[in-house]
Amino acid sequence: MPRPLNDSQQSRLVVTTPPGSPDRAWLATGYAEVRAILGDDRFSTLPPAANASDSRRLIQPGNLLHYDAPEHTRMRKMLMPEFTLRRVRTLEPLVERVVTERLDALEHAGQPVDLISHFVWPTTSLVGCSILGIPRDDQAELARHIDTHRIDNPDREQREAAGNAYLSYLSKYMRQKRRKPGDDLLGRLIVEHGAELTEAELLGTATTLLASLIQNVAGTLGLGTLALLENPEQLALLLKRPELIDHAVEEVIRSVSVIAMASPRTALEDVPIAGRVIRTGETVACSLLGANGTTAPGEPKAPLDITRDNSGHMAFGHGIHYCIGALVTRMELRIAIAGLLERFPTVRLAVPPDGLRFSSRAVETLPVVW
């Protein structure tokens, strides 16, 4: 088992409910505890509820994080051919083309320029939509719906309207794909497994994949670039030794951990962890931030070290629910960060770090000059 990333990661597993509470719940923040829980099939990822029937009613069809085996195995097996190393390598020309286009636009936008709106968000939106076959004319609007629908948007009415528009578009799009699949991820999924997927499962798969490919990757790219800019000695090292790009990508993925918490786990039987016992029916939340030794966006972080082997980090989860799009994320970040630094080796923040604004998963704006 990989060792914790730093000495501050002490093993931690604590009860989060008041003493004597009949519905005891737990929080795991230690590396060893989080890894053990996420890799243990004695924990269920079905949405927590008062009983099994209620739990199954809360499942979002097509969302792999809401399934246990064998349903999870069935769904993941259908999707895995689209996320193999061989398939991901075929996507590299697409990502390289999009990154080049966006760097051209960035260069012509004038300085200072917001890296998020001119590079990060358009890059991940164009790539994510292209992978799923979304027509280019629809991509910008769909990306706006995803951004507006994020959970930390304080305008509830606006957030719900964006969510409804997003689902309405994808519902119509899925009906079109059933009739004319095309050679893209969703098209191939329909051709190979369309008869096995319900309409709800197909829509849910498209919804969760697209949001992840855009929102999660954008959050990581934005925060990861900021992390490099705030660590100039590491940035200088990467410019001097571009062969460190893969290590640098792993380090920024670990350091930002845009998914702060893994989906809740419910014990299917009594499970001993770290000298304590999580009893049948009790839920446990696993902090990926804690396991990775990092903090929430905008809070002080430990210095980066792009020479460190971070292969054991938990930003993509662990066990059967390990992020299916991890290879795509790594590839996109590698091409985007390397391309940005090659084009603009003197890139730097145009504002003090304390003037930046953050959401739960991202930096809102990132003004830079070069």
pLDDT at 124: 95
Beta strands 283-286; 276-278: pairing state: unpaired
pLDDT at 2: 33
Residues near 282 by Cβ (< 8 Å), separated by ≥ 6? Answer: 23, 24, 25, 26, 266, 267
Give CA separation, 233 vs 51, 228, 237, 336, 351, in Å: 53, 9, 6, 20, 19
Residue type (1 letter), 22: P
Residue 308 clears pLDDT 80, i.e. is over it: yes
DSSP category for residue 57: H
The percentage of residues in the chain with a pLDDT greater than 90, rounded to a whole number, is 76
Residue given tokens 């931030």 in the structure block: 289
Average pLDDT over residues 317-337: 97
Name which of 298, 291, 216, 222 is nearest 259 in CA terms. 216
CB 244 within 8 A of CB 238: yes
| Spatial separation of the C-alpha atoms in residues 285 and 26, rounded to whole Å | 6
Q: Label residue 150 by pLDDT band (50, 70, 90).
A: confident
pLDDT tens digits, 101-130: 999 999 999 899 999 999 999 999 999 999
Whole-number CA gyration radius for the chain: 21
Asked if the structure places residue 85 within a domain, the reply is yes
Asked if the structure places residue 159 within a domain, the reply is yes
Let me know the angle formed at the C-alpha of 116 by 112 and 119, rounded to the nearest 5 degrees.
85
Backbone CA torsion sign across 304, 306, 310, 311: positive
- Domain that includes residue 170, residue range: 69-260+296-369
Number of domains the chain contains: 1
Residue 229 clears pLDDT 70, i.e. is over it: yes
Average pLDDT over residues 323-337: 97
Average pLDDT over residues 226-239: 96
pLDDT at 197: 93
pLDDT at 11: 59
Comparing 99 with 3, the larger pLDDT belongs to 99
Residue type (1 letter), 183: D
Asked if the structure places residue 177 within a domain, the reply is yes
* pTM score of the predicted model: 0.91
Residue 77 clears pLDDT 90, i.e. is over it: yes
Asked if the structure places residue 12 within a domain, the reply is no
pLDDT tens digits, 191-203: 999 999 999 999 9
Q: Label residue 10 by pLDDT band (50, 70, 90).
A: very low
The region that residue 319 occupies, defined by phi over 0 for left and psi between -120 and 50 for alpha, beta otherwise, is left
Residue given tokens 């349903």 in the structure block: 71
Comparing 364 with 296, the larger pLDDT belongs to 364
CB 361 within 8 A of CB 150: yes
Other Cβ atoms closer than 10 A to 8 = 8
Asked if the structure places residue 218 within a domain, the reply is yes
Backbone CA torsion sign across 239, 242, 248, 252: positive
| Spatial separation of the C-alpha atoms in residues 242 and 356, rounded to whole Å | 28
Beta strands 13-15; 25-28: pairing state: antiparallel
CB 37 within 8 A of CB 273: yes
Residue 298 clears pLDDT 80, i.e. is over it: no
Residue 1 clears pLDDT 70, i.e. is over it: no
Span of 154-158, 180-184, 254-258, 321-325 with lowest mean pLDDT: 154-158
Comparing 23 with 222, the larger pLDDT belongs to 222
Asked if the structure places residue 198 within a domain, the reply is yes
| Spatial separation of the C-alpha atoms in residues 184 and 130, rounded to whole Å | 8
Report the Cα 33 to chain-centroid distance in Å: 21
Average pLDDT over residues 336-349: 97
pLDDT at 8: 38
Asked if the structure places residue 23 within a domain, the reply is no
pLDDT at 280: 95
Asked if the structure places residue 45 within a domain, the reply is no
Q: What's the chain's average pLDDT?
A: 91
Residue 293 clears pLDDT 50, i.e. is over it: yes
CB 179 within 8 A of CB 42: no
Average pLDDT over residues 156-180: 90
Span of 49-53, 129-133, 332-336 with lowest mean pLDDT: 49-53
Backbone CA torsion sign across 168, 191, 185, 83: positive
Give CA separation, 60 vs 67, 123, 205, 217, in Å: 9, 28, 9, 22
CATH number, domain with residue 347: 1.10.630.10
